[in-house]
Amino acid sequence: MTTLIDDFNRRVRYVRISVTDRCDFRCVYCMSEEMTFLPRAQILTLEELSMVARAFVELGVEKVRLTGGEPLVRRGIAQLVSEIGTLGLDDFAMTTNGVGLVKHAQALRDGGLTRLNISLDSLDADKFRQLTRTGDLHKVIDGIRAARDAGFERIKLNAVVLKGRNDDEVVDLVEFARREHLDISFIEEMPLGDVSDHSRAETFCSSDEVQALIEARYPLVPTTESTLGPSRYFRMADSESRIGFISPHSHNFCSTCNRVRVTVEGRLLLCLGNEHSVDLRAVLRRHPGNMDALKTAIVEAMPLKPERHHFTTDGDVQVVRFMNMTGG
Ligand code: SF4
């Protein structure tokens, strides 16, 4: 089996596939309030998305994550999951804002999805609405419980921490995760897209600061557990919940990078923090159904993969594209 190795001898074992740029939220760190979404003709069909996933699996990728925008707003998402669910993946995951889980959780589980990451940045309904601009906290909590009832284990919350916005809730979020038997990762905001809501220089909150807030209440013990993602995990002595930190600024993880992304337009993005990419949609539409042509394009893209990102915390926007194009 051909495997995907870049020029820094890093093997790509994980692909994140965005199935839509649309979302029913407008999170302040992800996109601006007014967004223009891609026309239907420009986005990959469900068949093309399924083919992309199969191509990566045939090239040795062990983990596929479906993202957005919000993947559960994509019509036919359960069908796409059931197709990818036949590829024999040990780790088939999705990142969602949780609202659509009451409707979809059982079908996703039955379709072969193995893990869920659910975004939750606040437990205060008013603040939650401010941070998401449109979101209803209770629908997300109902979604979390529906996912658990559908049989998902090790559900993980993702919380982006903004100083002066939700850093005062870090311990509350940990306690919610403990009560609900969930894992939780705290994420340093990444400077993708020119967000209008806040100054990233002012709101940047490092993982070390977040960890200190938690350790004032719960001592953390580092663990070597991994989910093939960038989280550094810690354990608490009296809980099975795992605490993770995703720290692109304060604990750079590019040297062990094992992933690439595909946008819903079919752009193979070699790195979240750069624009190096290859147009897989052109290959898919020039050679419909031709798996060899698609796999060749993916293999030939590997030398383009940059060594690392060049993010700063001073609020400068290095990458113009908003986070909703890749879903993190
Ligand atoms: S920023 Fe780029 S190189 Fe660094 S971990 Fe992310 S995708 Fe990999």
Quick: pLDDT tens for 183-212: 999 999 999 998 888 899 999 999 999 999
What percentage of the chain carries pLDDT values higher than 90? 90
Quick: pLDDT tens for 27-58: 999 998 888 999 999 999 999 999 999 999 99
Cβ–ligand 1 contact at 253 (below 6 Å): yes
Residue 192, classified by CB atoms within 10 Å of its CB into exposed (0-12), middle (13-18) or buried (19+), is buried
Cβ–ligand 1 contact at 11 (below 6 Å): no
Q: How far is the CA of 6 from the centre of ligand 1 (A)?
A: 12
Q: Which amino acid is at 219?
A: P
**Distance from the Cα of residue 26 to its chain's centroid:** 16
How many other CB atoms are found less than 10 A from the CB of residue 237? Answer: 8
Tokens of residue 176, six digits: 């919610």
- CATH code at 14-326: 3.20.20.70
pLDDT at residue 317, rounded to an integer: 78
Cβ–ligand 1 contact at 87 (below 6 Å): no
Identify the CA nearest to 161 among candidates 139, 192, 190. Answer: 190
Identify the CA nearest to 31 among candidates 67, 69, 73. Answer: 69
Cβ–ligand 1 contact at 254 (below 6 Å): yes
DSSP string, 70-128: -GGGSTTHHHHHHHHTTS--SEEEEEE-STTHHHHHHHHHHTT--EEEEE---SSHHHH
* Spatial distance between the Cα atoms of 45 and 33, rounded to a whole number of angstroms: 27
Residue 328, pLDDT above cutoff 80: no
pLDDT at residue 146, rounded to an integer: 98
Greater pLDDT, 1 or 241: 241
pLDDT at residue 320, rounded to an integer: 83
Residue 279 in 3-state DSSP? strand
Q: Where are the domains of the chain?
A: 14-326
Quick: pLDDT tens for 218-231: 999 999 998 889 99
pLDDT at residue 99, rounded to an integer: 98
Quick: pLDDT tens for 97-142: 999 999 999 999 999 999 999 999 999 999 999 999 999 999 999 9
Residue 25, pLDDT above cutoff 80: yes
Please tell me the number of Cα atoms within 13 Å of 149 on its side-chain side. 12
Residue 305, pLDDT above cutoff 90: yes
* Spatial distance between the Cα atoms of 324 and 1, rounded to a whole number of angstroms: 33
For a mutational test of ligand 1's pocket, the pick from 268, 308, 310, i.e. the residue with the most ligand atoms closer than 8 A to its C-beta, is: 308
Dihedral sign for Cα atoms in the order 44, 56, 14, 107:
positive
